[in-house]
Chain A
């Protein structure tokens, strides 16, 4: 099980968090085309590289944040910042 570095709680089992996948900007709902909106909902880049992802520390501090993870090695990097742009998935 992945060990996720929560900025507030320290390292936590990934089962303690909710994983939201790639972080996406929420398009402007007033002007977004169907293609833009559905890209935000459904499309992922899925690179074999560093990837910015969103997490919710469900059983700990209950904060949303983003982390960068290398999808090849599962290494995390950079002090995570309080997250934004989680959207789309309830």
Chain B
């Protein structure tokens, strides 16, 4: 059976393009322009879902974006709003939250025990015992609403865009269109954003006069140079009108998130029709007046055969005209303005069959239409700081605050005839354009160096709009019976009253306890009724109870839209292609992808200690420092002294913040009189660049130093191992690499494998004889492969980050951020010789002076008694026999060189002396013993090997 009507004057369906789609396994037909909801109703499918808790059959209530009952699965896309999504040919659509089927739902048994599922049921029932939580989670997940997520679904293309309009108009109804037209006529760049598929708002389902006005406004706005975004939602307004717009109508992207910095935001979302609370108000066949008018006038769908209409306003009256015009029998008009009321919607499990009125009569009907008033969707105004105020005479909330760059117009601002509303909207558009110009001028005033100020300051445009009248409207929230308040969360007005009695009688508490207003309608349908029921329960007025704060998003937003395109690039060295081709296991270190290992980190350690290994250390931070005052800067950043560093030498240093906490460490070499190369930790590169600039720009602007980051400008390769000199010698011929000519902690520049302008340092983290090569990055891969080819007979092999971390731990070298934390001051490192308090000043000096006199935790080398036990990093060190914490393990590994477990840890001073026996709590709760070592280095404490 089809419920499709003959052609309607305002219909948006295209009858020349029929479509077919699958619903719940069966084949149905539709027309282009149909929403899933209008197509299902045209096919006489009145039940679309089951409710969340009680699994009651549900039909369409609003038949638009906000319909709380119309969530469906479309292919692999869950939670699709069927009142909004247009049918496409071949679509596969299925109901959600039904098991085993829409018609016969096992979980409807919940309805039989429904009164057990009252407010707070989940909180009260699923708390103890805690061990059962995983089981509860599985049970609850089965009952939770929502579609099916297919983890293999390809990630569609989502996009982001930044926009800088003068005016964003949220809402493309008559008020939004009129405001956009008048703002654009004054030269403002305007974005007009409409939630629905086309401009027009309520004019789209109105009468002939409404359609004439719609044509006129649409013609004007399309010719006004306004950027029109339909099927797009302004989901949030943040500081300084940072406005988030989700565009669902992009020709390529599934969705596009537009971040628009609007100088002025015009809020014109219209009004949202409110459901009425009474017993049976969620039976399929109960609809709001807007729903039946949309179905008849836009989609040519007959919503029922025999209707009762409960009306308190002109829209309800207009619905009667529409229903009668298309042949629906209006069995009874119940006029709320005459004191008439409806009490119960009756019927079997699946549909309405009659309506009981307050006068006791029972009217047969398959359709009950309610028109009880409006909710003002003040969300965007709330987000700008407005707190809506209730006006009893018109039974709705209004914005109350004056916000200089956010203006409201249309139904949200008041009532009146079409001329009054359009005049208000046009005045709002003019004010928005003029204020946008004034805001732009203010910005120029503040940034005059970047944006020279044009012309004299305009006077601030005052709000001279004539305020709109407020039509009187009966206060219609709940009948004399109880019914559903929140359809998507299945919350009954009885639940709210019970929760208030339990003490949850503030609206914000009530909301969280009962979850009313917290479903996917975002409170658009439920908030005011929730407040009204609570007010009644408390014996107060709606204004006294107040309303909840509407927060972003205005409408639910997909994770795809939020994720969008990722703009964060991953950094790789010029050798990355070789690493990938040679089996490197990658690791993400900060913004860098680098090789963790090439299969066997322990073998990489052994080869490096025995023969020679090469590691790509390009992420090492590198700053080129030039100028006569570089030594002053180095003296200020590092805790040790730098004035006497000879050309060709390298020195190690520690940097502290002003609180004395270790910030970074590394080596700096003097390349020539006025040129130095500083290396930082990989993760500290950006921070230290800023840190150096901070001192140069703020405290010491007189120092002549240029800081240039060159981290990516050089590919850095450390050649380490007893045969490293032999290997490097084969690639370098213009530098004497002999032990006397090129000593430990020295730097040379020269040609490596034919590449000029390379720097070579005799340093390394592994404790082996090492040469660190910094090669202009375009030649990095060439030098890397040359090292491998030339060193084949020497046993050269690449090693990764993991092997380096093992070797540095064998040597007891700490890593800032691994072996130190946000409380570790420099004296804890056991390198007090590097803290020179006789310097005039350096970052953190006063704190370090005080810290040197305190007893601080110490970083010490630790070995477990059982050489096979490797405590997890961050394991606690405790006083034997107690839980008193004495320290923690900061690094631990199995050492291939020593064939035993090795650690670094921070311990309190009492546990720091060499030989102290420690108790370590393992992650499984066992306690093991360990010992503090004499030297921080587990291996080669005298440093014989690195001097080569």
Interface residues of A (CB under 8 A from B): 1-3, 5-11, 13, 18, 26, 29-30, 32, 34, 37, 40-41, 56, 58, 62-64, 74, 76-77, 79-80, 82-90
Please determine whether A8 and B691 come into contact, CB atoms closer than 8 angstroms. Answer: no
Given A37-B846, A56-B690, decide whether A86 and B447 contact each other with a Cβ distance below 8 A: no
What is the chain A residue whose CB lies nearest that of B385?
A73
Nearest-Cβ distance from residue A13 to partner chain B, whole angstroms: 8
Please determine whether A30 and B840 come into contact, CB atoms closer than 8 angstroms. Answer: yes
Please determine whether B699 and A5 come into contact, CB atoms closer than 8 angstroms. Answer: no
Cβ of B694 within 8 Å of any chain A Cβ, yes or no, is: yes
Number of interface residues of B (CB under 8 A): 32
Cα distance A86–B845 in the bound complex, in angstroms:
17
Please determine whether A5 and B446 come into contact, CB atoms closer than 8 angstroms. Answer: yes
Please determine whether B659 and A88 come into contact, CB atoms closer than 8 angstroms. Answer: yes
What is the chain A residue whose CB lies nearest that of B239?
A2
- Mark the stretch among B40-48, B202-210, B217-225, B448-456 that contacts chain A: B448-456
- 13 pairs across A/B with beta carbons < 8 Å? A7-B449, A8-B449, A8-B450, A9-B447, A10-B450, A29-B846, A41-B659, A64-B693, A74-B239, A77-B446, A84-B698, A86-B698, A88-B657
| B579-615 CB contacts (< 8 Å) to partner A | none
What is the chain A residue whose CB lies nearest that of B657?
A90
What is the chain B residue whose CB lies nearest that of A10?
B450
Cβ of B322 within 8 Å of any chain A Cβ, yes or no, is: no
What is the chain B residue whose CB lies nearest that of A36?
B846
Pick the contact of B698: A1, A76, A87, A90 (CB < 8 A): A87
Pick the contact of B699: A3, A18, A26 (CB < 8 A): A26
Cβ of B261 within 8 Å of any chain A Cβ, yes or no, is: yes
Cα distance A66–B411 in the bound complex, in angstroms:
44
| Chain B residues in 8 Å Cβ range of A18 | 690
Please determine whether A10 and B659 come into contact, CB atoms closer than 8 angstroms. Answer: no
Please determine whether A6 and B239 come into contact, CB atoms closer than 8 angstroms. Answer: no
What is the chain B residue whose CB lies nearest that of A67?
B446
Pick the contact of B240: A1, A26, A41, A63 (CB < 8 A): A1
Please determine whether A85 and B698 come into contact, CB atoms closer than 8 angstroms. Answer: yes
| Chain A residues in 8 Å Cβ range of B840 | 30
| Chain B residues in 8 Å Cβ range of A5 | 443, 446-447
| Chain A residues in 8 Å Cβ range of B443 | 3, 5, 10-11
| B817-848 CB contacts (< 8 Å) to partner A | 840-841, 845-847
Cα distance A88–B846 in the bound complex, in angstroms:
12
Please determine whether B450 and A41 come into contact, CB atoms closer than 8 angstroms. Answer: no
Given A2-B239, A74-B240, A84-B699, decide whether A90 and B691 contact each other with a Cβ distance below 8 A: yes
Cα distance A87–B847 in the bound complex, in angstroms:
14
- Pick the most buried of A10, A56, A58, A82: most chain B CB atoms within 10 A of its CB: A10
Please determine whether A87 and B446 come into contact, CB atoms closer than 8 angstroms. Answer: no
| Chain A residues in 8 Å Cβ range of B663 | 90
Cβ of B238 within 8 Å of any chain A Cβ, yes or no, is: yes
- Pick the most buried of B445, B690, B694, B699: most chain A CB atoms within 10 A of its CB: B694
What is the chain B residue whose CB lies nearest that of A31?
B846
Please determine whether B242 and A83 come into contact, CB atoms closer than 8 angstroms. Answer: no
| Chain B residues in 8 Å Cβ range of A58 | 690
| Chain B residues in 8 Å Cβ range of A2 | 239-240
Cα distance A88–B843 in the bound complex, in angstroms:
8
Nearest-Cβ distance from residue B5 to partner chain A, whole angstroms: 49
- Per-residue CB contact flags for chain B residues 657-694 toward chain A (1 = under 8 Å, else 0) read 11100010000000000000000000000010011011
Please determine whether B450 and A9 come into contact, CB atoms closer than 8 angstroms. Answer: yes
Cβ of B148 within 8 Å of any chain A Cβ, yes or no, is: no
| Chain B residues in 8 Å Cβ range of A56 | 690, 693-694
What is the chain A residue whose CB lies nearest that of B693?
A62
| Chain B residues in 8 Å Cβ range of A10 | 443, 447, 450-451
| Chain A residues in 8 Å Cβ range of B450 | 6-10
Nearest-Cβ distance from residue B43 to partner chain A, whole angstroms: 47
Cα distance A37–B122 in the bound complex, in angstroms:
52
Cα distance A48–B862 in the bound complex, in angstroms:
51
Please determine whether A29 and B841 come into contact, CB atoms closer than 8 angstroms. Answer: yes
Please determine whether A29 and B240 come into contact, CB atoms closer than 8 angstroms. Answer: no
| Chain A residues in 8 Å Cβ range of B697 | 63-64, 82-84
Please determine whether A90 and B240 come into contact, CB atoms closer than 8 angstroms. Answer: no
Cα distance A73–B450 in the bound complex, in angstroms:
24
Cβ of B850 within 8 Å of any chain A Cβ, yes or no, is: yes
Cα distance A34–B850 in the bound complex, in angstroms:
8
What is the chain A residue whose CB lies nearest that of B656?
A90
Cα distance A84–B700 in the bound complex, in angstroms:
9
- Can you add 18 more A-B contacts, CB < 8 Å, to A7-B447, A84-B697? A1-B239, A2-B239, A2-B240, A3-B261, A5-B446, A7-B450, A8-B450, A13-B242, A18-B690, A34-B850, A64-B697, A77-B446, A79-B448, A86-B698, A87-B698, A88-B658, A90-B687, A90-B690
Cα distance A40–B449 in the bound complex, in angstroms:
31
Nearest-Cβ distance from residue B345 to partner chain A, whole angstroms: 47
| Chain A residues in 8 Å Cβ range of B657 | 88-90
| Chain A residues in 8 Å Cβ range of B658 | 26, 40-41, 87-90
Nearest-Cβ distance from residue A62 to partner chain B, whole angstroms: 6
Cα distance A70–B443 in the bound complex, in angstroms:
15
- Pick the most buried of A40, A63, A84, A90: most chain B CB atoms within 10 A of its CB: A90
- Per-residue CB contact flags for chain B residues 428-463 toward chain A (1 = under 8 Å, else 0) read 000000000000000101111111000000000000
Cα distance A80–B449 in the bound complex, in angstroms:
10
What is the chain A residue whose CB lies nearest that of B440?
A11
Nearest-Cβ distance from residue A31 to partner chain B, whole angstroms: 9
Please determine whether A6 and B841 come into contact, CB atoms closer than 8 angstroms. Answer: no
What is the chain B residue whose CB lies nearest that of A32?
B846
Cα distance A74–B240 in the bound complex, in angstroms:
9
Please determine whether A64 and B694 come into contact, CB atoms closer than 8 angstroms. Answer: yes
Cα distance A10–B663 in the bound complex, in angstroms:
32
Please determine whether B447 and A87 come into contact, CB atoms closer than 8 angstroms. Answer: no
- Per-residue CB contact flags for chain B residues 317-328 toward chain A (1 = under 8 Å, else 0) read 000000000000
Cα distance A86–B690 in the bound complex, in angstroms:
12
Cα distance A83–B693 in the bound complex, in angstroms:
12
Given A10-B443, A63-B697, A90-B687, decide whether A3 and B240 contact each other with a Cβ distance below 8 A: yes
Q: Top 10 nearest A-B pairs by Cβ distance?
A: A5-B446, A10-B450, A3-B240, A1-B242, A88-B658, A84-B698, A5-B447, A90-B657, A10-B447, A64-B697
| Chain A residues in 8 Å Cβ range of B691 | 90
| Chain B residues in 8 Å Cβ range of A8 | 449-450
Nearest-Cβ distance from residue B264 to partner chain A, whole angstroms: 13
